[in-house]
Amino acid sequence: MNGHGEYQAPAELKRLQSIALGAGGIAFIAWAIGTYFNVEQGLRSWLLGFIFWSGLGLGSIGVLMLQYLTGGAWGVVIRRIVEAGTRTLPVIFVLFLPILFGLSQLYEWTHLPPDDYAMKHRGWFMTTESWILRSVIYFIFFGVMVYLLNKWWAAQD
Give tens-digit pLDDT for 70-111.
Answer: 887 888 888 889 999 999 999 999 999 999 999 999 988 888
**From CA 157, how far away is CA 116, in angstroms rounded?**
57
State which residues form the domain around 21: 8-37
CB 131 within 8 A of CB 96: no
**From CA 54, how far away is CA 57, in angstroms rounded?**
5
Residues belonging to the chain: 157
One domain, residues 101 and 28: no
Q: Is 70 helix (H, G, I), strand (E, B) or coil?
A: helix
Residue 1 lies in a domain: no
Q: Please tell me the total count of domains within the chain.
A: 2
Q: What is the pTM of this model?
A: 0.81
- Burial of 113 from C-beta contacts in 10 A (0-12 / 13-18 / 19+): exposed
Please compute Rg for the chain using Cα positions: 20
Residue 2 lies in a domain: no
- The whole-chain average pLDDT of the chain stands at 88
pLDDT digits (tens, 9 = 90+) for 27-53: 999 999 999 999 999 999 999 999 999
One domain, residues 26 and 49: no
One domain, residues 68 and 58: yes
